[in-house]
Structure 1
Amino acid sequence: MLKRYLPVLTWLPHYNRRLGGADLLAGFIVTVMVIPQSLAYAVLAGLPAVVGLYASLLPAVAYALLGTSRTLAVGPVAIIALMTGAALSGVAAPGTAEYLQAALVLSLLSGIILLLMGLLRMGFVANFLSHPVIAGFLTASGILIAASQAGYLVGVELEARDLLPRLAELAMGLSGIHFPTLAIGGGSLLFLLLLREYGRSSLRRMGLSKPLADLLTRAGPIFAVVATTLVTWHFRLAETGVQVIGAVPQGLPPLTLPGFDLSLWQALLVPALLISVVGFVESVSMGQMLAARRRERISPNQELVGLGGANVVAAFSAGMPVSGGLTRTVINFDAGAQTPLAGLFAAIGIGTVTLLFTPALYHLPIATLAATITVSILTLIDIPMIRQTWRYSRSDFSAMAITIVLTLVEGVETGIISGVALSIGLFLYRTSRPHSALVGRIPGTEHFRNVERHETESVSHVALLRIDESLYFANARYLEDTVYDLVATRPELEHVVLICSAVNLVDASALESLDAINARLKDSRVTLHLAEVKGPVMDRLKRSDFLDDMTGRVFLSSYAAWRELARPSTD
């Protein structure tokens, strides 16, 4: 039980020098790579840049103790930062003490929700977010994030937070572009895009090894930060109007106590729930994918506990809501991290920077961070997924499209709630009209197929009806109508066999419908039979009176039913 809730106990006793060396190297690489992102995502959330560093320290330590993924790196991430900014702007003004306090409350609420979900073993909630809805939400969020950074890239101050007003404000403010800022922001953006597109191949042609080429390509934000900071410092561009990070508090994060204002907690409860679910889905998806590459496993329920602990710790260490980050996790994995201790080493590295080197960040241009954010969110915009969903399923595409539109127009909360609701609604609609097929025997075999798709043989007095869906309250009436229509159109019918090979569940409403079908067919002098009933379904049916009252039999296979019932007509 102790190992279940403290996964660190499963790998720490086997820790050795080889693992330590690999984790130490990965921690150093992650430290160097994610500092610009940590600063940028705090700014994206409307918080002081140093909050991003604080959120990369103790939360990472908490996850190392409680999480099950050996490579997931926890800290500020783009989508959670966007949702954080959207939630906090509704309760306080950015830059105020109330805004910072609300960020702590949001972190604490998210942590509590995740912990409760983990203790209640509710990892299954991720299944309610369909992949098209997630893809649509992330795509729209990527667009929102890019739009939110446009003003910083060109040196135009924008007040609006919603997409359309922000774009209109940007268009009207283009005449006031600050060209030194544009040179820094646009130059950084172009450099990062070119490095991302051609960096690996160019470095490989120069004779560098693949691992080194990959490392240098991912280090692009570091090069951009160092270069633009030096240029801004040397030419004193801050005096000309280039926005810089400014003074970053030096030292480790202070201990903080989130306020207990009931009205504030109520206002942030729904945003905290959405942040928790989205952060969990993003983290567990990344964790499972990387664990599979090493033939490892993670526990979704324990991941909830790990992420919950990380967010609770963030609330008491001047942080912000955190999750498993895509970029930092991939960097951690590729750098050779073997255990969660790599995250602890990265936290020590970031803590060292926070303690000793933050004065060097004074002249870091905001435009460079905006370029870093803009390039990093390109992975969120999934055009191939949108195209594939359009070709494959128009109903799934409708859920995706509505999620995209509402997220862009009404905000992230409305978008994801609507997308989830529509996904569940589409599922209920599909399963309320279950596919069924009359089947016949493939001549000379024991196989049965849809009579409309294959050449089959059948007899007029037996109908073999295959039900391709579990039976529950939403489709029970539809099943009744299907069977009654079948009997009404075939007056010679004597036997109806419901083939239940695809039925995994028969709930109480469906059982009542089966009783009604049995009684109705009995009045019509038609016998009802079942075939290929699965064990768990049969166990439940045996606890009812249905099998005793059913006029026919339960056959082990469709062929057994055919052989028994078709005989009188073929003699």
Structure 2
Amino acid sequence: MKAGLRSSWTRLVPLVHTLRTYRRESMLGGDVNAGLTVGIMLIPQGMAYALIAGVPPIYGLYAALVPLLVYAVLGTSAPLAVGPVAIVSLLVASAVGSMESAASPDYLRLVLVLSLLVGAFQLGLGMVGLGSLTSLLSRPVLSGFMSAAAIVIGSTQVKHILGVSMPRSDFLETLAGLWRALPDTHLPTLAMGLGGMALMLGVRFISRRAGIRLPDAMIAVTLAILATWLFGLDDTGLRVVGSVPAGLPSMAVPVASWHEVRALAPTAIVIGLVGFMQSVAIAQSLARQTGARIDPSQELRALGAANVLGSLFQAFPATGGLSRSAVNHDAGAQTTLAGLVTAGMVALTLLLLTPLFRLLPHALLGAIILIAVANLISWREMVRLCRTHRLDALVLAVTFFATLLLGFIEGIGLGIVLSLAMFTYQASRPHTARLGRLPGTTRYRSVARDARAEVPRGLVILRIDASLFFANVGFVREEIDRALEETPEARIVLLDMYPVNRIDASAVHELEALRDDLAERGVEIWFAAAKGPVRDSLEKSMPAAGLRADVLRLDLHEAVLGAERYLRA
């Protein structure tokens, strides 16, 4: 019993196992190096993403602290770097901004309530082991949603590059507002924004050519603060962060009315799913490179706990970030202790270094965001799907434009509904193939794909490449009728059931009716090579007199030979 409790404790708190098996000589160096490297990247990113969420930059550092600490204790992915990300920040701003102005004292309160709801949703699903919910959002839906969201994020940051003030609005109104505001562009701000983008792109270019990783965002932040201080740019009208409070976040429980909870709940569900999907996709991708194992349900619990506890310490919703996780992996992260190092660096910044960010320009934060979100637009994915999977390309396109023009909840909701409709349509029309035997062999091939395949006289051999259930058995029956119309001399329809993994009661009932209809036309239906569960269903449900149970257990070739002997008799 003690061993079972110890195993459960280790499964729920993976850091326990990490500490028991930790090898300082081979692991500590990689964890420390990765933690410091990600910390240098996370600090400016966190402040920039707070700008997207509509809260003061300091809250980006709060979101980079407690959630990261909690994930380091409960998470199963060593390189996954949890913290604020652009997509989630935008969803936060969209949901809360529709209820309160960013200048309202209630805005921050609702942001923290939303963070609590996101965490509670994720934690609840994780506690009942629903990590399989990753299948709810197909890749085309997620790609379309994230690409559209990246464009919307970019459009909201252009005002910081131009140095103009604009109210929060939808995408088209934002574009129109930017066009009208162009004559009011503040040139020092524009120079700072474009210069910062050029600097970061230049640093990335040098990094690739030199084969080393340089902290482009931190370099840009440092130089921007120095330039603002040396040349007094804040006196020219350049907007800066201003006074940043020092110290760790205080603890408080977010409170809300039932009406506010109901209004925020749909966005909390979307953030919970999107954040989890993004994190698990990143974690699994990196795990494949190292052979590590990821537990999706534990990841769901870890992210949920990170957001619940984070909301108590003034953190807006956090999840795994792609670029930071890749850096964490490349820098040598061995365990989630790398996250503790990063969190320690953020805490040190909050305690000692916040006065240094007083002169950080908003334009530079906007530039960091524009550079970051450019990589979220899946142009290659769109082109690839158009060439290879037209239906998936349609799902991606509908999700993309719906998100862009209608809104985030509407876009992702429509994408999910459309992808489920596509799935239902495809499942209701399973692939079938009329088979023939290759001369001199026991192999069978589709007669439509291999001209050498020969169909024995008096037989129709049909392979069904899907499980049979109420929605697709009618289509299979139509395929059988079509085959008999093309082969009027056939006396036996032989169904190759090997690809069929399961069959429901509706499908069995329909096959019974088909058997009776064919019998009136002098045609028998045989089932060959059925797997155990399918064979059991057929033998139990169909009257023994009308089912050749012996054929069910034969492989396809033996069944064909038996049918030929039966026809000759």
Question: TM-score, length-normalised on structure 1?
Answer: 0.95
Q: 2:306 maps to what in 1?
A: 310
CA distance in 1, matches of 2:543, 2:227: 82
Q: 2:12 maps to what in 1?
A: 5
Which residue, 460, 463, 466 being the options, matches 2:460?
463
CA shift digits 1:135-194 (9 cap, x unpaired): 111111111111111111111222242111111111111000000000000111122223
Q: CA deviation at 1:311?
A: 0.5
Q: Structure 1: which 5+ residue stretches go unaligned?
A: 205-209
Q: Kindly indicate whether the alpha-carbon contact (under 8 Å) linking 1:522 and 1:551 is maintained by their aligned counterparts in 2.
A: no
Report the count of equivalent residues: 559
Which residue, 547, 559, 562 being the options, matches 1:561?
559
Q: Structure 2: which 5+ residue stretches go unaligned?
A: 1-7
Q: CA deviation at 1:547?
A: 5.8
1:326 aligns with 2:330: no
CA shift digits 1:407-436 (9 cap, x unpaired): 111122211111111111111111211221
Q: CA deviation at 1:569?
A: 5.5
Cα–Cα, structure 1 residues 135 and 547, in superposed 2: closer, same or farther, change >3 Å? farther
Q: CA deviation at 1:480?
A: 2.2
Q: 1:207 maps to what in 2?
A: none
Q: 2:392 maps to what in 1?
A: 396
Q: Percent identity?
A: 38
Q: Kindly indicate whether the alpha-carbon contact (under 8 Å) linking 1:518 and 1:550 is maintained by their aligned counterparts in 2.
A: no
Q: What is the SS of the residue equivalent to 2:348?
A: helix
Q: What is the SS of the residue equivalent to 1:566?
A: helix
Letter in 1 for 2:517: R
Letter in 1 for 2:401: V
Task: Write the mapping of 1:181-260 to structure 2, written as runs, cut at 5 A.
Answer: 181-196=189-204, 198-202=205-209, 204=210, 210=211, 213-214=212-213, 216=214, 219-260=215-256
Q: 1:482 maps to what in 2?
A: 479
Q: CA deviation at 1:482?
A: 2.2
Task: Write the mapping of 1:172-571 to structure 2, written as runs, cut at 5 A.
Answer: 172-196=180-204, 198-202=205-209, 204=210, 210=211, 213-214=212-213, 216=214, 219-454=215-450, 455-545=452-542, 549-550=546-547, 553-567=551-565
Give the superposed CA RMSD. 1.7
Q: 1:132 maps to what in 2?
A: 140
CA distance in 2, matches of 1:184, 1:536: 68
CA distance in 2, matches of 1:543, 1:84: 55
CA shift digits 1:309-363 (9 cap, x unpaired): 1010111000100001112211211121111111011111101101111111010
Q: CA deviation at 1:395?
A: 1.1
Q: What is the SS of the residue equivalent to 1:254?
A: coil
Q: CA deviation at 1:534?
A: 2.1
CA distance in 1, matches of 2:289, 2:116: 33
Q: CA deviation at 1:262?
A: 0.6
Letter in 2 for 1:258: P
Q: CA deviation at 1:497?
A: 1.0
CA distance in 2, matches of 1:119, 1:534: 35
Which residue, 132, 151, 171 being the options, matches 1:143?
151
Q: CA deviation at 1:525?
A: 2.5
Q: 1:75 maps to what in 2?
A: 83
Letter in 2 for 1:73: A
Q: 2:4 maps to what in 1?
A: none
CA distance in 1, matches of 2:54, 2:546: 67
Letter in 2 for 1:237: L
Which residue, 52, 63, 70 being the options, matches 2:71?
63
Q: CA deviation at 1:551?
A: 5.3
Q: What is the SS of the residue equivalent to 2:167?
A: coil
Cα–Cα, structure 1 residues 481 and 28, in superposed 2: closer, same or farther, change >3 Å? same
CA distance in 2, matches of 1:542, 1:11: 52
Q: 2:111 maps to what in 1?
A: 103
Q: Kindly indicate whether the alpha-carbon contact (under 8 Å) linking 1:518 and 1:551 is maintained by their aligned counterparts in 2.
A: no
Q: 1:89 maps to what in 2?
A: 97
Letter in 1 for 2:103: G
Q: Kindly indicate whether the alpha-carbon contact (under 8 Å) linking 2:535 and 2:552 is maintained by their aligned counterparts in 1.
A: no
Which residue, 17, 37, 42 being the options, matches 1:29?
37
CA distance in 2, matches of 1:249, 1:568: 89
Letter in 2 for 1:311: N
**Greater alpha carbon shift after TM alignment, 69-78 vs 10-19:** 10-19
CA distance in 1, matches of 2:540, 2:343: 57
Q: What is the SS of the residue equivalent to 2:73?
A: helix
Q: CA deviation at 1:364?
A: 0.1
Q: Kindly indicate whether the alpha-carbon contact (under 8 Å) linking 1:153 and 1:186 is maintained by their aligned counterparts in 2.
A: yes
1:163 aligns with 2:159: no
Q: Kindly indicate whether the alpha-carbon contact (under 8 Å) linking 2:395 and 2:419 is maintained by their aligned counterparts in 1.
A: yes
CA distance in 1, matches of 2:162, 2:543: 73
Q: CA deviation at 1:446?
A: 0.9
Q: Kindly indicate whether the alpha-carbon contact (under 8 Å) linking 2:460 and 2:494 is maintained by their aligned counterparts in 1.
A: yes
Q: CA deviation at 1:240?
A: 1.6
CA distance in 1, matches of 2:122, 2:545: 47
Letter in 2 for 1:187: G
Q: Kindly indicate whether the alpha-carbon contact (under 8 Å) linking 1:529 and 1:555 is maintained by their aligned counterparts in 2.
A: no
CA shift digits 1:218-259 (9 cap, x unpaired): x01111101111111222222221111111111000102111
CA distance in 2, matches of 1:84, 1:548: 64
Q: CA deviation at 1:549?
A: 4.0
CA distance in 2, matches of 1:421, 1:546: 40
Cα–Cα, structure 1 residues 9 and 542, in superposed 2: closer, same or farther, change >3 Å? farther
CA shift digits 1:479-523 (9 cap, x unpaired): 222223333454322111111222222122212212221222222
Q: 2:130 maps to what in 1?
A: 122
CA shift digits 1:265-292 (9 cap, x unpaired): 1111110011011111110011111112
Q: CA deviation at 1:555?
A: 4.2
CA distance in 2, matches of 1:201, 1:426: 42
CA distance in 1, matches of 2:266, 2:64: 24
Which residue, 33, 47, 53 being the options, matches 2:55?
47
**Greater alpha carbon shift after TM alignment, 224-233 vs 176-185:** 224-233
Q: CA deviation at 1:126?
A: 0.8
Q: What is the SS of the residue equivalent to 2:469?
A: coil
